[in-house]
Structure 1
Amino acid sequence: MSSPRSRPRSSAAAPLDDEDLLSEILLRLPPLPSSLPRASLACKLWRRIVSDPRFLRRFREHHRRNPPLLGCFVQTLYTVHFEPTLEAPNRVRQTRFPFPIDTGGTVMILGCRHGLMLIFLWTRNQLLVWDPLTGDQHRLDIPPGFDKEETVINGAVLRAPEEANHFQVVLVGNSDIKLTQAVASVYSSETGVWSNLVSTLLPADDPHVPTMVYHDMCSVMVGNSLYWLLSGNWFGILEFNLDRQSLSVINVPVEIIDVGSCLLTVMQAEGGGLGFLFISENCIQLWKKKTDCDGVASWVLGRTVALDKLLSMNSEEARILGFAEDNNVVLLWAFIGDIFMLQFKSSQLKKLFESHHSFSWRRYYPFEGVYTAGIKS
């Protein structure tokens, strides 16, 4: 009987010589910027596989729903720049994603999702869909039916689960015929046209003060619906259901005096479904919307997180910057000048970077994506 040392090793090495099997193994590497560049250094075969454009497309598509938080786009009065959040060796250069247009105070970022950014160009009455990872740009004219004189418009960009090469834009705002109605339209890059307007009545106590989509808080996608905060005459939530192509309004679980205080946001609830986060009395309240057996929906308070236990701050010193959907984390600004990421599942608070500027002068837009650094496709 031969000893273990004398046994041939070819059978053990064979799987790594099978390109199809090896591709499947490499496809499952973590979607971090350093993963594929490191793999490419192993040998010529590995480099050929991870450099192949077809593999890169598969890698990005495979990890589309679990991308890392690469950083934030930070908008000031006149500039937009990228602020990385990952640590080395996955840290993306700050200059890697230069903003594609001159801001000049005439653009409004409407949000980032699925590796795309949606930008409203005020003076041109257009939307710009920008892919920071590839540099691709698509300009869309605003369809008729939206009031842009007395109220503001908002919107969201997304990719369909099985259509990585196409995107949709959902535009929401007040009707140009009746401000007490919210309207929405959907653009498909596959067809190149906007859908017909859908509408819903907005609650209003005072007909002279319109209720409108709050412009400083981006949309949040939960399941197959998009949500925006409503402010003005009435505080609530606007829902657009992508399956039914319908609009509806939802009451919030707490009394809101000022949406502009940035102490609240819509988010994904623990365990799934629509959630609501609210900072009050030094605590972060996590609410969840539930529906009983009779189909009656109501808000239920889940757990609370004490701010003073996470960090030496109180509710007057913390503000919500945004919600990163794929990582299910909330970005917080602290009065001490730091930006933090709060992961509710683990109750961990992590410092991302410092900000030495006034909160009112800046807006932060979390950017999640699969960035294959150093690999050409």
Structure 2
Amino acid sequence: MEDDDAAPHLPMDILYKIPTHISDPASLARLASSCKFWRNLIKDPAFLERLRRRHRDHGFTPSLLLGFFYQDKKRSSSDLWKYYIDKTRCLAPSFMRMSELSHFVGNKSARNAIKPLSLETFIPGLGASLNFYKPIASQDNFLVLRRQSEVATPNGQALNDLLCVCNPLTGETFEIPSHRYVPPDHYALFVTNDVNIYGCMSQSFQLTGIWIKKGDRFICECYSSKTGTWTRSQGVPHLMHGLYLVSSSATASGGVIHWLCGSWKQMSLTHIATLHIGNMELSYLELPPEAKRNKAPVLGSSADGGILLLIVQGLQMLLWKHSNALGTDSSSWVLSERIDMRSSLPQRVATLGIRAKVRLEMFRGKSGTVVLWIDEEGLFVFSLSDRSMRRIDSAHVTKKYFLCPYEIDWLSCLAITNLVVDGSLSLDAERQKTQGRWRTLMGRNLATNGAS
């Protein structure tokens, strides 16, 4: 444009509608930087407030995923030796930024220039306090770290886990007291946005430990950041007779935890079991027929609270969505997308066709991020939003790490892209801190995404 203040030559009612169709804060930030007209429109408090209320109706928001925290799966003797030599040495989890992952197209991929950051970069002064802690869960800015004890009691029972919840965006850490029982089978993290009587926002979290006894009984104990104590949930629900639980399939969101279940009689996956933490009740949802014939689907939760189911058939990926508003039977499933991955996969894998070994590892429904394991190639990140593929690293390196995707909440993403300024949205004090601390990191993400 000749004049930075000049508006594009379109009717004003059309111009005002264009940004409302963009849900990703990174894309909004790029549009806002193009000229003053878009910048003034997007930073208008009324526009941001409407967008904040409507963002759940949009699809995936890729910029919510900032990267991956990871830690060695196994404590190496060299790390232990360093720990004993210098107890101030930080061996806390490291962080791999999305902006450092190279794009992969066909058989061409730039060499990864990964420069992992220590958790101490975001939480200064950690020292050795979180050495050997593994990231096990994250939701809306918060990260759960766990250190399992390798020492057992005289009767052979494992000692309690050492737990910590931190917020890398704000640099906060929360020490979690030990619970009364042996380590649970699963941990689930739930984050809520609270508004006080003065209209100020803050975040609180609930960490839930789930014990699955004899494969079909559920016992829960919950830690609340508001009370600072563990509370045993009432009731011990039992899994429906004739079903078995796929414990590794758990996904948590909005106060519920979903698992894939199979039928002992059919010896195949048939249902999704949902545990409602508030009232400790189980509900069931029948899988769509295509998923019942698949051996390794993965579950996810969408921004609007719906259940997402992702399966791989050959070199295609099928995304199914179920909304609670639609009903509870299998007919309420909708095939949302059918994605052909051949143009994104390594050329050697694409030529193998149905013989290629591609396995789903992780799925995050808010950002639309899928982590794939490709045999003899390693781990890759695939975006359901723009169909881009990024290599995490080679098979040799990534086998020794435990990866945990780090997604942030939508309002914090607006803050670190500098779209929220001078009270244009009622940010809490902690989110205001994020604007300066993570702006450089998000700037690198924007530069990388903008070049793609």
User: TM-score, structure 1 length as denominator?
Assistant: 0.63
Q: Is the 8 A contact 1:97 1:133 kept in 2?
A: no
1:243–1:204 CA distance, 2 compared to 1 (3 A): closer
Q: Which amino acid aligns with 1:344?
A: L
Check if 1:173 corresponds to 2:214.
no
In the aligned structure 2, how far is the partner of 1:345 from the partner of 1:179?
37
* 1:25-40 pair list within 5 angstroms: none
In the aligned structure 2, how far is the partner of 1:201 from the partner of 1:125?
26
* 1:1-377 pair list within 5 angstroms: 68-78=64-74, 80-86=93-99, 94-95=116-117, 97-98=119-120, 101=129, 104=132, 107-123=133-149, 124-144=160-180, 148=183, 152-160=185-193, 162=195, 164-175=202-213, 180-198=216-234, 199-203=236-240, 205=242, 211=245, 213-214=247-248, 219-221=251-253, 224-230=254-260, 237-241=272-276, 246-253=281-288, 254-255=291-292, 263-268=296-301, 273-289=306-322, 295-298=327-330, 300=333, 302=335, 303-311=337-345, 312=347, 313=349, 316-335=356-375, 337=377, 339-346=379-386, 348-357=387-396, 360-369=399-408, 370=413, 372=434, 374-375=436-437
2:222 alignment partner, SS class: strand
Q: Which amino acid aligns with 1:275?
A: L
In the alignment, structure 2 segments of 5+ residues that lack a partner are 1-23, 34-51, 76-92, 102-112, 150-159, 196-200, 417-433, 440-452
1:308 alignment partner, SS class: coil
Q: Is the 8 A contact 2:194 2:202 kept in 1?
A: yes
Over residues 21-64 of structure 1, what are the superposed CA-to-partner deviations in whole Å (9 max), with x where a residue is unaligned? xxxxxxxxx866xx8xxx9xxxxxxxxxxxxxxxxxxxxxx899
1:248–1:362 CA distance, 2 compared to 1 (3 A): farther
Return the structure number with greater relative CO, CA threshold 8 A, min gap 6.
2
In the aligned structure 1, how far is the partner of 2:140 from the partner of 2:241?
34
Instruction: Indicate the RMSD between aligned Cα atoms, in angstroms.
Output: 4.8
Q: Which amino acid aligns with 2:340?
A: A
1:86 alignment partner, SS class: helix
Q: Which amino acid aligns with 1:273?
A: G
In the aligned structure 2, how far is the partner of 1:291 from the partner of 1:133?
32
2:319 alignment partner, SS class: strand
* CA deviation after TM superposition for structure 1 residue 266, in Å: 0.8
Q: Is the 8 A contact 2:379 2:395 kept in 1?
A: no
Q: Which amino acid aligns with 2:377?
A: G
1:252–1:227 CA distance, 2 compared to 1 (3 A): farther
In the aligned structure 2, how far is the partner of 1:119 from the partner of 1:232?
30
Residue-pair matches, total: 311
Higher strand share: 1
Q: Which amino acid aligns with 2:140?
A: H
In the aligned structure 2, how far is the partner of 1:361 from the partner of 1:289?
35
Q: Is the 8 A contact 1:147 1:173 kept in 2?
A: no
In the aligned structure 1, how far is the partner of 2:339 from the partner of 2:304?
17
* CA deviation after TM superposition for structure 1 residue 200, in Å: 1.9
Q: Which amino acid aligns with 1:330?
A: V
Q: Is the 8 A contact 1:268 1:328 kept in 2?
A: no
Q: Is the 8 A contact 1:110 1:155 kept in 2?
A: no
Q: Which amino acid aligns with 1:226?
A: V
* CA deviation after TM superposition for structure 1 residue 126, in Å: 3.6
In the alignment, structure 1 segments of 5+ residues that lack a partner are 1-29, 40-61
1:298–1:211 CA distance, 2 compared to 1 (3 A): closer
1:257–1:358 CA distance, 2 compared to 1 (3 A): farther
Over residues 98-145 of structure 1, what are the superposed CA-to-partner deviations in whole Å (9 max), with x where a residue is unaligned? 4965554xx55331111111123322424321222333222324544x
In the aligned structure 2, how far is the partner of 1:363 from the partner of 1:324?
16
Q: Is the 8 A contact 2:239 2:282 kept in 1?
A: no
In the aligned structure 2, how far is the partner of 1:186 from the partner of 1:170?
4
Higher helix share: 2
